[in-house]
Structure 1
Amino acid sequence: MSLLLISCVFTFRSSVSFLTCHSCLFHFFMQSWLFFFISLCRVGNSGYALYKYAYGPYTLMLSISTMGLPLAVSKFVSKYNGMGNYRAGQDLLKFGLYLMIFTGMLSSIILYSFAPFLAEMVISKHDSTGNKLEDVIYVIRLVSFALLIVPPMSLLRGYFQGNQSMGPSALSTILEQVVRVIFIVLGAYIVIRFGHSVTEAVGIGTFGAFVGAIAGLGFLTFIYHKRRILIKKQVTDSDSNQRIKPLPMFKELISYAIPFVLVGLAIPIYQNIDTFTINVLFQSIGYKQDQAESINSVIGLAQILVMVPVSLATAFGMSLLPGITSSYVKGNLKEVKEKMNKTFQILMFFTLPAAIGLCLLGKPIYIMIFGMNNSPVLGGVILQWYAPMAILFALFTVTASILQGINQQKKVIIGMFLGIVIKLILNFLLLTNFKEIGPVLATYGGYTVSVLYNFYLIKKAINYKLFPLVRALALPVSLVIVMSLVVLIANYLVTNYLAAKLSMYHLAITTSLFCVSMGGIVYIGMGLKTKALREVLVRRKNA
């Protein structure tokens, strides 16, 4: 339930903040609380693996079909409105919607048509112990319908944000997810009440994306229709009504959009590498289909938990990025470096305790969130190994954004693809020796290369030195060490005094809640006494 609440908070925040609205993070949150409701049907590891097979390629196709245009549209509209040319925004909306409808239809047809091919990549025809081929095809084709609606809806959100009207975008996002959840809850009830199959339960979860998108698009269309007279008057009264031809318009848009979409694709690509290689790799060393799917599912669930603190941390850390861009444009590199150090310090204030906390309490937290029916022992171990990845996820997102802010966006793409290649290679090389942990370590390898490359580019571009950063991070590291000691002591006390009195599930809940509370109180209590954290909280409050 806590995952759901945090997801709702971030969904609203991502809608009203231009710089924190990264599609890859947004989809992980949607995935996390969709799983919460799908789990009402007790679909287990095989059901969640089935959901991953559909949602992974859908996320990639959505990113490609929208081409990063929602963020680019927001930037384009804001730019030309500032120049007094409101007609440019209207022309963009018209031609952009045509483009989004076309790319949405094309991507939907491609995903629907390639469903059998994608299914054959993860399901063995000679092993009937896991999901069936036709089940995977079914859920992929169901989710493909959402691609008809989401791209034009996303473009409309970008248009409203570009006009500094954040309300419609935020409210449409909330409405979309509320309708989506209601649809899934009702569907889950039907599945439980009338004894339908796991495949149908997962199908409800995937088709919910289409139903929620219709609600979101309908709301945005309604708001635009209500404002059409005001918009028309605004265009008529504008200082400059110069029309921009479609070709130059899209050329400018694409120049804005490509860095956004490629960097945003990083996490979905890593996720899909695991989704579509793990089954084959583990079956090649003797695992059955259902065993490989269980590992596939558990890694996905661990990733969901890790992405929650990452997204919240980057939302805080990236609140300082507009100031970095502004200082860079003015040529004040000293101020740029100071703001960067502050950004990384704030990022670590939030990411480090979450990553280390999940690492120390991986087993009880995994059991508390996902129950006893989703490989609790394996899940706890993988979560403990995966948790520190939160630091690399957050660093990659922020360093990539900093590079975009200092006009180095094209070079970010090289680092991202270097990391992806390393990830692919290590997925094969580490399998024999590390088994279930191999894909996790491969992700570490890929992201480490990308993050180091990003830091190299930053250092080269502005002569950035790492020593002041290391010194700035000494404080959050010290706080995390104290917090970790408190968590370990609390865990020891609860385990020793209550292990014989409670079931494994209830012990996990008690341990998680007590240890997280104690660690949180100590960390936040000490953190609030530090100048850096007080500054960022005041800045966010006044923003």
Structure 2
Amino acid sequence: MESKSSSLMRNTLILTMATFISKFLGFIYVIPFTSLVGTQGFALYMYAYRPYTIMLSIATAGLPLAVSKFVSKYNQLGDYHTGRRLMKTSLIIMSITGFVAFLILYNLSPLLASFLIGKDDQSGNSISDVIMVMRTVSFALIIVPILSISRGFFQGYNSMEPTGVSQVIEQIVRIIWILVGGFIVVRLLDKNVSVAAGVATFGAFSGALAGLFVIYYYWKKQRSHINNLYNQSTIREKIPLGSMYKELFAYAIPFVLVGLAIPFYQLIDTFMVNKLYMSIGYTLKKSETINSVLGLTQTLVLIPVSLATALSLSLIPSITRLYTANEIDPLRKQVTQTFQMLFFVTLPAVVGLSVLSKSAYITFFGIHNAYEIGSIVLRWYSPVALLFAMFSVTAAMLQGIDKQRLVIVGLGIGVIFKVIFNFLLVSPFHELGPVFATYIGYTISVVYNLWVIKKYLNYNYTSVIKRILFMFILVIIMGAVAGGISYILNFLNVDLRIKSVVIVLICGLIGAYLYLVLSMKTGLIKLVFGKEPALLKKIVFKSPQRQHSK
């Protein structure tokens, strides 16, 4: 039998790899796409995807993760019957809400476009272009909710592979559609970037359809096993649908709000930035450049956050089982392990991005996409990844112990401060104003979540803080070495983009290797993961244990 801890590690690994691959692909395609359409075309693409993400979350109403928690809870009690009934009825509801969300976004697009662009400045994208891309992406809302609810059902059975594989396939198909479609429109048909952005936004529909086929494959593959569990159900009493959905929506509302946290912060910037910068004298074109740069840096910064997303998905069913079984000590150990894993992976990535911000921005987005502004924004925006990751994980923990309402309180306070400081900080700090406002909003939410965890789990942060501080020391050493090498390599007399690529590759590899060596030599990896992963032993060649044995 697989132990609970090894099961958590396996599920976390599956979702971490799948989410990382998905996020990495979702970032990599931006490089050729922005070279095709530029910052103005990317801004147009972003105008469509920000409202789409919000409408998608509303359409699913947080049900995928809520279903995961609901099914996991009743499966733990031996009642496989209730989870199956929930799945069947939820598919019907998702079909309806998805279609309603499609109609809402399709018909609201003229109003949203007018707010985004305005009618006085014609130096940037037009209102008609924004309407077109919004209406194109809205079709995906018909199918994505069904895909999401199906993933939640499998996660409730502690089966993370269907979610992981379908995420990767969905992303691959979507990216192929975006890049091939954009290339055909711009290079072969010689159309403008607005048409390319419109074609690209339809990739959300094609990718979701591919993901749905993957989920159906796994359903056929696992159907007999799930049916066997269903037939062995120890409880056959039918819970009234009203009671069942009352409990489900009690989970769902906090899930949707937590899931909206990062997209909502992005939406706030997308819809506020143009107006704010134009109010202090910027043209629409220059305001859209800053808007696009913020979107590009967010895409890059969110890659390290993929671990937190994966941890959140695997944490909720696992914590729910431990909390339902009143196994508080194993629950506290899992919280500690999660924090350690999160900082171990995210912290060096954040510091590396910040130290190499100029070279990283030029490497991925080129010298024609406002790299002067972009490198500054990336340097300051990179640490926000830690706050994003911490919020995702702490919110998942609180949801797992039935403190959903308290998560909403912390998030709400943070969002209010984000909006207020967007107004206050744009004038004195210009392009960094929205970044600092995000720091303030997310810090408030994270600190609040940590306080709630301490209160309701009687959790002591002392040991985990000591290990995180030790990680900071190793990361500072890594960052100093990478920064020193970067300074020397900047004297190379070659093309700026080639030089940037060389700096990122050399400094990134040396920095990562140094961090792993220091982590293994000091025993940090063993403390974080419980053992030294075999793969890392091969990378570092010799661990302290091997040397000692010799």
Q: Deviations over 1:263-293 (max 9, x none)?
A: 1111111000000000000001110001000
Alignment of 1:253-268 (within 5 A): 253-268=248-263
Say if 2:141 is the partner of 1:150.
no
Cα distance in 2 between the residues matched to 1:397 and 1:230:
32
Q: How far off is 1:193 after superposition?
A: 1.6
Q: 2:11, 2:127 → 1: CA distance?
A: 39
Match of residue 45 from structure 1: 39
Pair 1:455-2:447 in alignment: no
Q: Indicate how the Cα distance of structure 1 residues 71 and 466 shifts in structure 2: closer, same or farther if over 3 A, else same.
A: closer
Give the distance between the partners of 1:157 and 1:462, measured in 2 at CA. Answer: 29
TM-aligned CA distance change 1:483 to 1:367, over 3 Å: same
| 2:153 matched residue in structure 1 | 159
Deviations 1:118-162 (A, max 9, x none): 111110211111001000000000000000000011112222333
Q: For residue 499 of structure 2, what is the amino acid of its counterpart?
A: L
The CA deviation at 1:484 is 1.6
Compute the displacement of 1:296 (Å): 0.4
Structure 2 Cα separation of the partners of residues 522 and 448 of structure 1: 30
Matching residue of 1:103:
97
Among 178, 195, 200, the alignment partner of 1:184 is 178
Correspondences of 1:57-206 after superposition (within 5 Å): 57-191=51-185, 192-206=187-201
Corresponding letter in the other structure for 1:50? L
Pick from 182, 203, 207: which aligns with 1:208?
Answer: 203
Over residues 11-35 of structure 1, what are the superposed CA-to-partner deviations in whole Å (9 max), with x where a residue is unaligned? x988954x9999xx99966753452
Amino acid at match of 2:416: V
Q: Is the 8 A contact 2:311 2:393 kept in 1?
A: no
Q: Residues 388, 463 of structure 1: CA spacing in aligned structure 2 closer, same or farther, 3 A cutoff?
A: same
Q: Which residue number in structure 1 is paired with residue 511 of structure 2?
A: 519
CA distance in 1, matches of 2:149, 2:332: 34
Pair 1:505 & 2:497 matched = yes
TM-score normalized with structure 2 length: 0.87
Pairwise CA distance, 1:313? 5.4
Shift of 1:204: 1.9
Q: Which residue of 2 aligns with 1:411?
A: 406
The offset of 1:227, in angstroms, is 6.7
Pairwise CA RMSD: 3.1
The amino acid of 2:294's aligned partner reads: I
> In structure 1, how many angstroms separate the alpha carbons of the residues matched to 2:452 and 2:233?
42
SS of the residue corresponding to residue 281 of structure 2 reads coil
Q: CA deviation at 1:529?
A: 2.6
Offset at residue 307 of structure 1 (A): 0.9
Alignment-mate amino acid for residue 119 of structure 1: A
Code of the aligned partner of 2:146: P
Return the offset for 1:396: 1.5
Could you tell me how far 1:84 is from its partner in structure 2? 4.8
Task: Confirm or deny: 8 A CA contact 2:54 2:263 kept in the other structure.
Answer: yes
Counterparts of 2:80 and 2:335 in 1: how far apart (Å)? 35
Q: 1:3 is matched with which residue? A: none
Cα displacement (A) at 1:504: 1.2
What is the one-letter code of the residue matched to 1:525? V
**Partners of 2:69 and 2:317 within 8 A in 1:** no
Over the matched positions of the two proteins, sequence identity in percent amounts to 45
Residues 166, 472 of structure 1: CA spacing in aligned structure 2 closer, same or farther, 3 A cutoff?
closer
In structure 1, the residue matched to 2:49 is 55
Distance 1:30 1:352 in 2: 21
**Does residue 354 in structure 1 map to residue 349 in structure 2?**
yes
Of 431, 435, 438, which residue of structure 1 is paired with 2:433? 438
* TM superposition shift of 1:68: 1.6
By how many angstroms is 1:528 displaced? 2.0
1:296 and 2:288 correspond:
no
Mean CA deviation greater in 466-475 or 135-144? 466-475
Comparing 70-79 with 29-38, which one deviates more in the overlay?
A: 29-38
Counterpart of 1:287? 282
Letter in 1 for 2:427: T
Please state how far the C-alpha of 1:52 moved relative to its aligned partner: 1.0
Identify which range, 430-439 or 322-331, moves more after superposition. Answer: 322-331
SS at match of 2:302: helix
Listed as ranges, the matches of 1:362-401 within 5 Å are: 362-401=357-396
Cα deviation for residue 99 of structure 1 reads: 0.3
> Are the counterparts in 1 of residues 315 and 400 from structure 2 also a CA contact under 8 Å?
no
CA distance in 2, matches of 1:437, 1:536: 35
Instruction: Letter of the 1:55 partner, please give it.
Output: Y
Shift of 1:462: 3.9
Taking the aligned partners of 1:408 and 1:156, their CA distance within structure 2 comes to: 25
Deviates more, 1:236-245 or 1:296-305: 236-245
Task: Indicate which of 247, 258, 280 corresponds to 1:252.
Answer: 247
Asked if the contact 1:60–1:265 (Cα under 8 Å) also holds between the matched residues in 2, the reply is yes
The residue number in structure 2 matching 1:476 is 471
Q: How much does 1:523 deviate?
A: 0.9
Q: Equivalents in 1 of 2:215, 2:45: separation in Å?
A: 28
The alpha-carbon distance between structure 1 residues 471 and 240, as it changes in their structure 2 partners (threshold 3 A), is closer
Partner secondary structure for residue 304 of structure 2:
helix
What TM-score do the two structures reach when normalised by structure 1?
A: 0.88
**Residue identity opposite 1:256 in structure 2:** Y
Determine helix, strand or coil for the equivalent of 1:126: coil
Q: Which amino acid aligns with 1:48?
A: F
Deviations 1:461-515 (A, max 9, x none): 344455444323221011012112211210121112x1xx201111111111111
- The counterpart of 2:526, out of the listed 526, 530, 534, is 534
Structure 2 portions without partners, runs of 5+ = 1-9, 535-550
Deviations 1:389-439 (A, max 9, x none): 122112222222232334322111111010000000000011111111111
Whether 1:35 and 2:30 are equivalent positions in the alignment is yes
Equivalent of residue 217 in structure 1, options 195, 212, 219 = 212
Write the distance in 2 (CA, Å) between the matches of 1:307 and 1:210.
23
Q: Secondary structure at the match of 2:521?
A: coil
- State the aligned residue count: 524
- Going from structure 1 to structure 2, the CA distance change for 1:483 and 1:29 (only over 3 Å counts) comes to closer
